[in-house]
């Protein structure tokens, strides 16, 4: 599980975990963006909340995670941006107990507000496949296109400095307490997320390798 302040680069780190270790990753934020693009009732119901930077209700998010685990959770998983509240963490504990599965690791990506601002103002995302990159890495193209699927790379509508204030407030009040929650379970590892992608991923890889049976 990857926990971090908004825009801590975790989308990209999660994608790197899938590529390197073949562990499926799910992210409620990515699911909700897809639902919105598809115009489903769930997407329409949550679009305004995510655009404002508020957290979506625990009930909706837990439902998404339960469905995903039922379909794909049989061979290990990484949650990206989940849980973000104590009730979500409690529900996850109950769901996993029911599935006779345990959590091996909670990774807390520590980033300064300065890093968050810089990452969010440069973040680009593929409208077709969701691949995350930055303005500087995507400089190779005149019109930024996704290196994986050729889709258009665009800014997210919640990657905005005024929305960021709300997202940081939500993080500080509702997500921050999870550091204690997983600290007490002795599965929390902190990683300095202010460094470049590769340095951060090296640390994350080492933590995962310490858990995956050889």
Query: Annotated active-site positions, please?
Result: 10, 84, 123, 156, 167
**Rounded CA gap, 44 and 55, in Å?**
15
Cis peptide before 83 (omega within 30 of 0): yes
Find the residue with minimal CB distance to ligand ADP. Answer: 29
Answer yes or no whether residue 32 interacts with ligand ADP by CB under 6 A. yes
Three-state SS at 213: coil
Query: Which of 68, 82, 131, 182 forms a contact with ligand ADP (CB under 6 A)?
Result: 82
Q: Binding segment for ligand ADP among 6-14, 90-98, 186-194, 200-208 (CB under 6 A)?
A: 6-14
Q: Binding segment for ligand ADP among 3-11, 134-142, 188-196, 204-212 (CB under 6 A)?
A: 3-11
Enumerate the H helices of 99-196 as residue ranges. 113-122, 161-170, 178-184
Answer yes or no whether residue 91 interacts with ligand ADP by CB under 6 A. no
**Rounded CA gap, 123 and 82, in Å?**
20
**Rounded CA gap, 131 and 123, in Å?**
11
Longest Cα separation, the chain: 51
First and final C-alpha spacing in the chain: 20
Under rule CB under 6 A, how many of the chain's residues touch ligand ADP? Answer: 21
Answer yes or no whether residue 167 interacts with ligand ADP by CB under 6 A. yes
In the block, residue with structure tokens 């919105």 = 36
Phi/psi of residue 43, each to 5°? -60, -45
Least distance to ligand ADP from the beta carbon of 204, Å?
Answer: 16
Answer yes or no whether residue 55 interacts with ligand ADP by CB under 6 A. yes
* Closest CB to ligand ADP among residues 31, 214: 31
Query: Which of 12, 17, 28, 200 forms a contact with ligand ADP (CB under 6 A)?
Result: 28
Beta-carbon count within 10 A of 196 CB:
8
Answer yes or no whether residue 49 interacts with ligand ADP by CB under 6 A. yes
Residues 182-201 that bind ligand ADP (CB under 6 A): none
Element counts in the chain: helices (H) and strands (E): 9, 8
Answer yes or no whether residue 61 interacts with ligand ADP by CB under 6 A. yes
User: What is the binding site for ligand ADP (CB under 6 A)?
Assistant: 6-7, 11, 27-29, 32, 49-50, 53-56, 61, 81-84, 88, 158, 167
């Amino acid at each position: 599980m990857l926990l971090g302040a908004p825009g801590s680069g975790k989308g990209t780190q999660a994608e790197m975990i899938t590529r390197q270790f073949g562990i499926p990753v799910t992210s409620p934020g990515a699911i909700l963006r897809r639902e919105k693009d598809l115009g489903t009732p769930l997407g329409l119901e949550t679009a305004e909340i995510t655009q404002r930077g508020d957290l979506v209700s625990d009930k909706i998010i837990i439902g998404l995670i339960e469905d995903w685990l039922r379909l794909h959770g049989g061979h290990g998983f990484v949650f990206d941006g989940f849980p973000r509240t104590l009730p979500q963490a409690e529900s996850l504990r109950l769901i996993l107990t029911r599935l006779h599965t345990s959590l091996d690791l909670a990774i807390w990506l520590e980033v300064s507000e300065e890093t968050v601002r810089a990452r969010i103002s440069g973040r680009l995302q593929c409208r077709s496949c969701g691949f995350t990159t930055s303005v500087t890495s995507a400089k190779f193209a005149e019109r930024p296109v996704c290196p994986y699927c050729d889709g258009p790379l665009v800014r997210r509508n919640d990657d905005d400095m005024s929305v960021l204030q709300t997202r940081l407030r939500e993080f500080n009040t509702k997500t921050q307490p999870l550091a204690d929650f997983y600290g007490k379970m002795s599965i929390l590892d902190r990683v300095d997320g202010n460094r470049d992608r590769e340095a951060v991923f090296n640390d994350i890889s080492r933590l995962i390798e310490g858990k995956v049976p050889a």
